[in-house]
Amino acid sequence: MQLYKSVWKETSAVVNFPETETSQIMAVVIGQPIKHSLSPLIHNTAFAIGNLNWTYHAIEVSKDKVQDCIKGVRENNIRGVSVTMPLKEAVIPFLDQLSEAASELQAVNCIYWDDKKLVGHNTDGEGFVNSLIAETGKDISGSSFAIIGAGGAARSVIRALRKASVGKITIINRNHEKAIFAANLGGGDTDVGTAAEIPNCKYVINATSIGMVGTENEGMLPFSERYLRSHQTIVDLVYNPIETPLLLEARKIGATAITGIGMLVHQAALQYQLWTGMNAPIQDIQRKVISEIR
């Protein structure tokens, strides 16, 4: 995978933002580590296709520099900010307002300006639902879902599924307390369950990091393949590798397999829309991202 040159490291005093041409508008992604982020590729591809004189940079920011960083966003007229680990909660005290999604999740993945106010929002859940509908062409309202995992990604997905009026949601997670906490975001028909309930669900979503390249769980399945059924739609939020062990098993038995690239691109597309007021060229971005990861 290509690495991006535009990573500005923080100095000991403040967070430095890169210089741009005076006419150029800047957006950034902040987090730590940041050098493997695909966000610069996604947004710079979208800006180029949209013929916008915008530029997007990755800035490495640690938790203890987040206040300086948001001050810098205000002073440097940064027009859009994507926020990633470990800053999604840490940025909240320094913003002027939170959207309903960010407030319920207590996690911000994107910051935009509303007049003179810096607003924190979260596009992960809506991005997931948009990508699922775009890739399957199906109406998900009333459908049953199994969510494996109860971390930040799982919580945003569960909340968005509630908004999309799906049917029963079953949450399966190693840590039971976290599963119960996540279940509160799903509304009435949401339960904590076990992997044995997976065969009864139409949609099965892996929202754990199991299967991700470069981790101790690389090459592993989040649950036994014996719980998969051919009528199911299996989505893996892990996008590196694109074809995860879970998706390979799903394809083997003839189930529908959906990669995490769709959510990645759709959540970014919603950010792009908030910042520029334009629709993002989703299919072009998706093609570009897949070609870079492969």
Site string for ligand NDP, 141-180 (x = CB under 6 A): --------xxxxxx------------------xxx--x--
Cβ-based nearer residue to ligand NDP, 25 or 160: 160
Read off the tokens for 104: 């319920």
In terms of C-beta density within 10 A (0-12 exposed, 13-18 middle, 19 or more buried), how is residue 59 classed? buried
Tokens standing for 185?
Answer: 């975001």
SS3 annotation, 206-251: ECCCCECCCCCCECCCCCCHHHCCCCCEEEECCCCCCCCHHHHHHH
Nearer residue to ligand NDP within complex by CB, 25 or 41: 41
Record the tokens describing residue 177, joined without a space.
């307390």
Cβ proximity to ligand NDP: between 72 and 262 the closer is: 262
Nearest distance from residue 155's CB to ligand NDP, in Å? 7
Q: Which residue out of 88, 168, 202, 288 is catalytically annotated?
A: 88
9 is catalytic: no
The pair of structure tokens assigned to 225 is: 């393949």
Report residue 122 CA to chain centroid gap.
9
Q: In the set 44, 45, 190, 267, which binds ligand NDP (CB under 6 A)?
A: 267
129 interacts with ligand NDP by CB under 6 A: no
| 13-42 residues near ligand NDP, rule: CB under 6 A | none
Q: Rounded to an integer, what distance in angstroms lies between the CA atom of residue 46 and that of residue 23?
A: 18
Taking CB under 6 A as the rule, does residue 207 contact ligand NDP?
Answer: yes
Q: Which residues are catalytic?
A: 88
Residues in contact with ligand NDP by the rule CB under 6 A: 124, 149-154, 173-175, 178, 207-210, 212, 217, 237-239, 260, 263-264, 267
